[in-house]
Structure 1
Amino acid sequence: MTQIHPTAVVESGARLGENVFVGPFCLVGPNVELADGVRLESHVVVTGFTRIGPRTRIFPFASVGHQPQDLKYAGEESRLEIGADNVIREAVTINPGTRNGGMLTRIGDGCLFMANSHVAHDCLIGNHVILANSVPLAGHITVGDHAFVGGLAAVHQFVRIGAHAMIGGMSGVEQDVIPYGLVIGNRAHLQGLNIVGLKRRGFTHDQIHTLRRAYRSLFAQEGTLAERLADVAQMFADSPQVMDIVAFMQADSQRSVCMPRLDRAA
């Protein structure tokens, strides 16, 4: 049974599924859709053209769907789509898209956004992504499945973060982060592979060993990066994980790839 607290405001036109809970002092706008089992704990604002998927839980003082913090935004009816089973903690802000970015901000399933984190306009976030406390994602960022961004790390607009990557806390990320990569520092550099994350997610010893061999070949100091990338693509063509990295690095991007420091490249 759907429950709406007497102090909450659910505007006419909002669509609520089964077993939705709208807690004290929440505001739900007229173009919002809350799927089955969504829970707004208290003092939550959900507005704009926003859809929130099943069983997502939002904690107090989160602001979801308000207009982007973009001076070029001109009131266009852009959208925000949030998937199933997400947890959005206290004071998180998530903005919809803009005309310059495809009109959509999209978040997958099973993500955790810790307190005070921010997802700006036109971000595309995969599944099971974690943003730790006070992480801001600028506009137009893409984050792959199972990526983790440590507390107080900041990510520049248009950066791509690959699947299973890890960003160390308090890092400033200005360049693309390869899948399975580990970056740290201000400004961030590639430290190696996210070995702990790979083990936790069940990657085999052979898969991790292959990724290590490919990493050493890819970021060696001999030859150009383009040459090494071509060599790795040929040598490890039967490894889906290595080919994820190759495809990521070959894709078009507005940012260069985050590289190891020269003293760590080998």
Structure 2
Amino acid sequence: MTRRHLTFLCEGDRLTGTIDEASNTTGLLLVSGGNEIRSGAFSGQAALAASLAEQGFPVFRFDRRGVGDSEGVNRGFREEEADIRAALAAFRGAAPHVSRIVGFGNCDAASALMLAGGAGCSALVLSNPWTIEEAGDASNGGDDAGADTTPPASAIRARYIAKLKNPREIARLLSGGVDYRKLLRGIARAVGPKPAPSTLAGDLRDGLGGFSGPVRILLAEADRTAQVFIENWDASDTRIARCPNAGHAYVEPHARQWLEARLLEALHD
């Protein structure tokens, strides 16, 4: 496996990308979210790219404008289509044997791909799409300091159901080892009416509606961003796959393996 670094232009700004080369005619375009550089947190995206390349699939990663080694101003995920299309063209130029490209993004990178109607990709893998409309955006990987960190009602209900099945939690409740004010607030939120879908979720639905290729939607069940997404989406969507006990970045060993397996499925299609 050979890893090569290159630069390319996007509306006059010079962007930096990395390609892990391989022989397959299907490749993966890995779109980073928020302010995350192309190597990913703790080099997780670089490791994922290397692993997929070793299995025969070329992978292209890039820093969007204003992030990492790339020039320009970070315009946010709502204005990322030009960056993605420029990266797609650079990928094709660097690997002319590639005829099919799967676009993959986590958090607001998934949202960027949806808003752009796939931005020219052949297939999409969308992980934990960002649908929260609050102060700021997903620039901190779903941990916006101005955002309400209370889990959605469905997550609260699932948490309480799990606790009621645990004898130790019932003992804590009976012995007074529970903050009753917090408990009552949680119950009130859990039984309250479901909030109306966000405008952003509607925009994502419209953007994705214009895409004709295969789509996979991956949700890490322990991630608040994923929990909010499913509150704003059709939970019966057959394109959804869920990873139990997985956090936002799939750092857990079982979650890393699950994510890679889903990407390989999309690449083999």
Does the TM-score normalized on the shorter chain lie above 0.5? no
TM-score (norm 2): 0.28
TM-score (norm 1): 0.29
Between the two structures, name the one with larger relative contact order (CA 8 Å, sep ≥ 6): 2
Structure with greater strand percent:
1
